[in-house]
Chain A
Amino acid sequence: MASIMFYLLSLILLTATLLCIFQRNPVHAVLYLVLGFFSLAIMFYLLGAPLVAAWEVIVYAGAIMVLFLFIIMMLGLAPQDRPEGPGWQRWLPFVILMAAVLACTLVIIALDPAATAQGEPYSLGPQDFGEALFGKYALAVQVVSFQLLFAAVGAYNLGRIQRGKGKP
């Protein structure tokens, strides 16, 4: 059952990515990318990494997408020529793919409500993940914390409005 789900989600992911590449409207492309991240998250869950699945949704679909949308806003990439009317045909592939992802999620929940599939040989539960991250790879975590500090300071120095100039 999970194998079928895996291949179905792979198909959704590939279709969403191709549609993302061939969209003319950048905002629509971002929406297809979000759809791809959702199906990727469910694939991570099926592979036995529930925490990675959650982080995929929170960081990629949540934060990275915000960055993409801000870039689109900053550069003003949205096309000028918009056809009149609702244009539901353009939304049909997105709606179908989103419904398929939702159906896959519901089937997984329905088949395994208590997530007992976590007893697989190389699955990694949230607690094991946290233990490995702050036990075995603790030094790497501290390096990452410094890197985040540099990123915050560097981003501010690059992007701030220069005093006296008004505009950057």
Chain B
Amino acid sequence: MSSTTGSLPTTAPILFEDYLALGIYVGIALFLVAILLLLSWGLGHRTRSRIKNEPYESGVYPTDNARLKGPVPFYLVAIFFILFDIEVIFVASWAVAYDRLGWAGFGQVSFFTLVLLVGLLHLWKTGALDWGPSAARQNRKNQDIP
């Protein structure tokens, strides 16, 4: 990294008020964490045994592994989330400069959103966003009809 990008300028006078809000915020956060940890450390019992470490003490014995494999539809939701997250990036990039871009930029972003709206409508209509009992019911209905 060269010296042209390097130095943070020190010309602007640094005001106490600039730090005050940040300092108060950091202080409250540290205080809250310290209080919670100290309270649970002071009030809690410190016995440690094999029975204490069980997930459900005096309850049902856990029989199987807790790490189950998730089904594929969850993965689809993650992919749709990423796609619309990337769309948010483009729209937000337009939004910060909307006044400089004018109506031409508005036309661009409208077309962009329109294309993705078509995608969203397609997903909606084909049932990609159906979830839980409604999707299961729909599936069962389709199975009954040969």
Q: Which residues of A contact B (CB under 8 A)?
A: 1-3, 6-7, 46-48, 51, 55, 58-59, 62-64, 66-67, 70-71, 73-76, 78, 80, 84, 106, 108-114, 116-117, 119-123, 126-131, 133-135, 138, 141-142, 144-146, 148-149, 151-153, 155-156, 159-161, 163-164, 166, 168
A91 to B82, CA, bound (A): 29
Residues of chain B in range 74-125 having any CB-CB distance to chain A below 8 Å? 74-76, 78-83, 85-90, 93-98, 100-101, 104-105, 108-109, 111-112, 115-116, 118-120, 122-123
Residues of chain B in range 1-34 having any CB-CB distance to chain A below 8 Å? 1, 3-12, 14-15, 18-19, 22, 26
Judge if B70 is at the interface, Cβ distance under 8 Å.
yes
Q: Within 8 Å CB of B83, what residues of A?
A: 148, 151-152, 155
Enumerate 15 A-B pairs (CB-CB under 8 Å) in ascending A order: A1-B6, A1-B7, A2-B7, A58-B88, A70-B78, A74-B71, A109-B22, A113-B14, A119-B9, A134-B109, A146-B115, A152-B120, A161-B72, A163-B143, A164-B143
Judge if B38 is at the interface, Cβ distance under 8 Å.
no
Q: Within 8 Å CB of A1, what residues of B?
A: 6-8
Classify the secondary structure of A's interface with B. helix
Q: Are the CB atoms of A142 and B108 closer together than 8 Å?
A: yes
Q: Within 8 Å CB of A106, what residues of B?
A: 22, 26
Chain B residue nearest to A80 in the complex (CB):
B65
A151 to B76, CA, bound (A): 11
Q: Are the CB atoms of A135 and B101 closer together than 8 Å?
A: yes
Chain B residue nearest to A125 in the complex (CB):
B96
Number of A-B contacts (CB under 8 A): 191
Q: Are the CB atoms of A130 and B96 closer together than 8 Å?
A: yes
